Amino acid sequence: MEYKLIMAVSGFPSLYDTNSLTYRDLNMRSDAWRQVAEIVGVPESECRRKWKTLRDQHRRERQREKERRESGIGLFNYRPWRYSSILSFLNPFIDARAAGTNGWEVVMREFLDQTDDDDVEEFSESPRLPQAKRKSSDSLLEEYLRRMETRDAQRNLDLDQRDDVTLFLLSLAPAMRRLSAEKQSWIRTKIQQLLHEAEFGAANFQ
């Protein structure tokens, strides 16, 4: 299951690519998880739970590997984790996130980057902060709460503005994504042709 799950998630950048515009789109992420569950053939909640375990383990293994390279200790008898290779697509985002931060700040930046329940769980299980770092962490938490309020307000506004046409077109998206790029292009052309004929008449369509 692990290999199949990793390969499925790798096809949805919204679930891991912090630079992707869809990474912070909760609707896109939810839809991606539904499709991953269909591909893997297990419940969505199980996919999310297992992915969190794999992702966090890979992050820890990546950190251990970095420490070994820097110290030179244990390099010769080091055995990479069995999934390190196929999870390597996460490395640019793990390395970028870790650069210049550590400990609690990394966890808090997870909050700002992603709003999955998994990350909320990660936050709740984190250790108590040393006094010196609490001020910085409090600021990050305040920023997180502010963003959550803004995001919820925008989400409600977006839902209010969706009419029947928008909802219908959105309902076609999952089926479209399952098609090849060639078929998607063909369907887009057909839809544009039908709309043009309906608006201007068939004779005027080029």
- The pLDDT tens digits of the residues spanning 56-71 come to 999 998 888 888 777 7
Q: What is the pLDDT of residue 118?
A: 44
- Residue spans of the domains in the chain: they are 1-99, 101-161, 163-206
pLDDT for residue 85 is more than 60: yes
- Amino acid at site 88: S
Answer whether residue 123 shows pLDDT above 70.
no
* CB-count exposure of residue 140 (10 Å: 0-12, 13-18, 19+): middle
List Cβ neighbours of 92 (8 Å cut-off, separation of 6 or more): none
Is residue 46 within 8 A of residue 61, CB to CB? The reply is no
- Does this model's pTM top 0.85? no
Residue 34's pLDDT is what?
93
User: Is 71 or 25 the better-scoring residue by pLDDT?
Assistant: 25
Which has the minimum average pLDDT: 45-49, 61-65, 147-151, 153-157? Answer: 153-157
* Per-residue pLDDT, 51: 95
